[in-house]
Amino acid sequence: MAIGTLTAVPVKPPRTLDRAVAGGAMVLAPIAAIPLAVAAGAVMLLPVPALVSAGLAIGVVALGSRGLHLDGLADTADGLSASYHRERALEIMRRGDSGPSGVAALALILIVQCGALAGAAGAGHGSTAAVLAVFTGRAVLSACCARGVPSARPSGLGATVAGSVPILLAALVFLAATTAAAFAPGLPWWRGPLAVAVGYACVGLLLLRCVRRLGGITGDVLGACTETAATATLVMLS
């Protein structure tokens, strides 16, 4: 489920889909993203201008995830900005199109991601920044689906994964992510963990806003959290 949902890698669907499988998929999300991280890191080694390699790396990640998280970001921005009525906001998010807020959110976040990754490349750790951003963006999914985080809808991806990860397990994923980031090549030992922690903090703010406004998470909210964490990580490493 983790690979099939979060990447474009063709795999067989799980035989059963219950909360245990859903929770496990969210915990394994960083591991499922290894192909995306490797691809992004490799692109950053191309002998082209930093901004070009940054744009290509971000494009590869988007292509490798079917644009799933970018779509979620756009839908979440439309829902949060369109109406203070919960049901109205959820209905807008359910549509397949993108409104002005969604388009603006996509444009702004892609500009920031490209600029930050280009800055990291200029500082000599572009590949490291790309890999850390991909992993952090997926590691936060376990926290977003921790026990106590409700679903905004009775059905859908959000309902399947909401509250499916024990809090202790989500905390262990965070600890593993920050510990691994301390060994990121080309960075002081503290900078990688700080970037990961800031990514988590930004997602926490977005998650709090969505729970208050929408009543919980949806699949779109999870996509928005992934992009938010990746962007914050890149900015901290730029």
Ordered by start, the domain boundaries in the chain are 18-237
Q: The dihedral of CA 125, 186, 69, 150: what is its sign?
A: negative
pLDDT tier for residue 97 given thresholds of 50, 70 and 90: confident
Alpha-carbon distance of 155 to 174, in angstroms, equals 27
User: Tell me, what's the pLDDT at 41?
Assistant: 98
According to the model, what pLDDT value does residue 95 have?
85
Spell out where 24-149 has E strands: none
Decide if pLDDT at 96 tops 90: no
- Give the chain's length: 238
Distance CA 153, CA 130 (A): 33
Q: What is the pLDDT of residues 102-116, one digit of tens each?
A: 999 999 999 999 999
Q: What is the 3-state secondary structure (H, E, C) of 136-164?
A: HHHHHHHHHCECCCCECCCCCHHHHHCCC
Q: What is the pLDDT of residues 17-40, one digit of tens each?
A: 888 999 999 999 999 999 999 999
* Residue appearing with tokens 């000599």: 124
- The yes-or-no verdict on residue 184 having pLDDT over 80 is yes
Query: Which pTM was predicted?
Result: 0.95
H/E element holding 53? helix 50-64
